[in-house]
Structure 1
Amino acid sequence: MQTILKFRYFLALLCIISCGDSQEKKGGEKNETSVESVTSNIKTEDKTILFFGNSLTAGYGLDTEEAFPALIQNRLDSLGLNYTAINSGVSGETTSGGLNRLGWVLNQKVDVFVLELGANDGLRGIPLQETKNNLQQMIDLVRNKNPETKIILTGMQIPPNMGADYTTEFKYMYPKLAEKNNIALIPFLLEGVAGNPELNLEDGIHPTAEGQKIVRDNVWSVLKNVLK
């Protein structure tokens, strides 16, 4: 109960396209993202970790408490760490959409900013330079708002549908950005989950509840060092 009260599902928006666009085409289903106000009781002494991403962060197809930001909150609570994890994942978000809403999101104080965007860009075949520029602008916005905010970039990989060159450049875009900006990097958010049917929903893209636990561990392996 403590975790449920402490964890706040920060932001929801009408989806543009989900990471599971192929699933929508097959089943005609639309993404749904729960809405919960952030004006509730976040302890003033708590620091804030903001998970800013797409459906992978939002926990598409699962209950809010099963998404990895909520699982991170459980870990924080079990260790007695005074941090509040905020899930600002929006299904279908591209880097362009994220850039457009980031200014509003940063109206609150953020101590750790976890940037998880770009997968939908890759699935759409958006030019890599555009995606890279958007990610860089978001990093710059966070730092301009508060230079003390610690930033973590989550690496992503995509299927080879767009060709080998595009896929390879997409993969290495993240470590290059992390190195350029001297920020922490989660090499591949879906390490140990991607490609495993038992750990993904029927669309083959979004993790199941068990898959989200592995994603949590991937995030925690880097986040724990940033929190020290």
Structure 2
Amino acid sequence: MYDLLKFRYFLLFFLIISCRDAPKKSSETLDTNDSTESIVTEETSEKVILFFGDSLTAGYGLELEEAFPALIQNRLDSLGLEYTVINSGLSGETTSGGRNRLDWVLNQKVDVFVLELGANDGLRGIPLTETLKNLQAMIDVVKKKNVDTKIILAGMQIPPNMGPEYTTEFRKIFPELAEENQIALIPFLLDGVAGIPELNLEDGIHPTPEGHQIVRDNVWSVLKTVIE
């Protein structure tokens, strides 16, 4: 129970901070509900894993404990690994918005930083050069803040609405960035979930609790090699 409450406190604290730079909502973005509760957190001596993303990270439409960051916390606890997971997912976040709020969430030492942004850029048709520039800038900021922080980049894909060329080039951004920066890559965060109706909510974008369990496994397959 303590671990669950600890996770909730960290999530709500960072949602509150993040909302200062929250982007406007759009029907074509990955959305989640904003939090208005005020939570004071305590310092932790455990290592910290920070999930920095949009509503896929925040767990749109679900209870906090059903979203994949909380499921990762459960996995860590079950293995006796002393890590605290921080969920810093924000509704409708783009790479530009994430870049603007990143300093707010790096006020403490982060041991593992999982960057899950870009999907909303793709759904909005934001120029690929802009998405690439923002992702690289965030990677640079994390490295500059603490050279020992291990970074994991979550790969993303989008429907072909913007045309085959844009869709293909968008998908290439993530493995290319991971290779250039020599950081770990989750090939496709929603692998085994995207496009499967029974694993997504009615909007067809956000995973169900069962979908988040698969996302957890996708994340864990990479995360476990980073923290070993």
State TM-score, norm by structure 2: 0.92
Displacement, 1:201? 0.3
Look up the match of 1:33. 34
Look up the match of 1:174. 174
Look up the match of 1:11. 14
3-state secondary structure, aligned to 2:120? helix
3-state secondary structure, aligned to 1:33? coil
Displacement, 1:173? 0.6
3-state secondary structure, aligned to 2:189? coil
Displacement, 1:104? 1.3
- Which runs of no fewer than 5 residues in structure 1 stay unpaired? 25-29
Look up the match of 2:211. 211
Displacement, 1:40? 2.4
3-state secondary structure, aligned to 1:86? strand
Letter of the aligned partner of 2:34 in structure 1? Answer: T
Change (3 A) 1:23 1:101: closer
Change (3 A) 1:16 1:225: same
Partners of 1:16 and 1:221 in 2: CA distance: 34
Letter of the aligned partner of 2:24 in structure 1? Answer: I
1:72–1:220 CA contact under 8 A, matched in 2: yes
3-state secondary structure, aligned to 2:14? coil
Change (3 A) 1:22 1:126: closer
Look up the match of 2:44. 43
2:94–2:119 CA contact under 8 A, matched in 1: yes
Letter of the aligned partner of 1:179 in structure 2? Answer: E
Partners of 2:209 and 2:36 in 1: CA distance: 20
Displacement, 1:42? 5.0
3-state secondary structure, aligned to 1:11? helix
1:1-228 correspondence runs (5 A): 1-7=1-7, 8-9=10-11, 10-12=13-15, 13=19, 14=22, 16-17=24-25, 21-22=27-28, 31-34=32-35, 39-44=40-45, 46-228=46-228
Change (3 A) 1:37 1:88: farther
State TM-score, norm by structure 1: 0.92
Partners of 1:48 and 1:140 in 2: CA distance: 19
Displacement, 1:16? 2.2
Equivalent pairs counted in the alignment come to 220
Partners of 1:88 and 1:11 in 2: CA distance: 6
- Which runs of no fewer than 5 residues in structure 2 stay unpaired? none
Letter of the aligned partner of 2:47 in structure 1? Answer: K
Partners of 1:151 and 1:194 in 2: CA distance: 24
Partners of 1:123 and 1:35 in 2: CA distance: 27
Partners of 1:6 and 1:74 in 2: CA distance: 12
Change (3 A) 1:53 1:224: same
Identity %: 70
